[in-house]
Amino acid sequence: MTKSRNFQKLASHQTFNSSKMVKALIASDKPKLVKSFSVYRNNLKWLAENREKLRSQFGNNFVAIHNNEVCIHKKDLSTLLKEVEKKYGNSLEVVVDYVGKQRVSLLL
């Protein structure tokens, strides 16, 4: 049985140990995970660099970032997540965040 099949079997079992599932996923697709993390990090960086510009275009919306651009934006998070899943599956590369119209500062 391949590592990928082991993961599928483990994930489909109703009482699985999450750390075992994560280990199986990493073992079966490590190169893919490294690539996905790199793409995710680049999308996150792009979001941070462009947040002010995005406020005027997508203020008070949830946005999904893929390949350094807003691919989906919605007021409702669950609707956005359904569209992201439909378009990209369970991609680890898509960044989802809320873009408010105004900058918020927290005093801690």
Res. 8: pLDDT tops 60: no
pLDDT of residue 85: 93
Give the mean pLDDT of 66-95. Answer: 94
- Please, how many CA atoms are within 13 Å of residue 91, restricted to the half-sphere of its CB? 22
Res. 93: pLDDT tops 50: yes
Model pTM score: 0.69
Q: How confident is the model at residue 47 (pLDDT cuts 50, 70, 90)?
A: very high
pLDDT of residue 107: 77
Order across the sheet with 95-99: list the strands: 70-74, 61-65, 95-99
pLDDT of residue 26: 66
From CA 104, how far away is CA 97, in angstroms rounded?
14
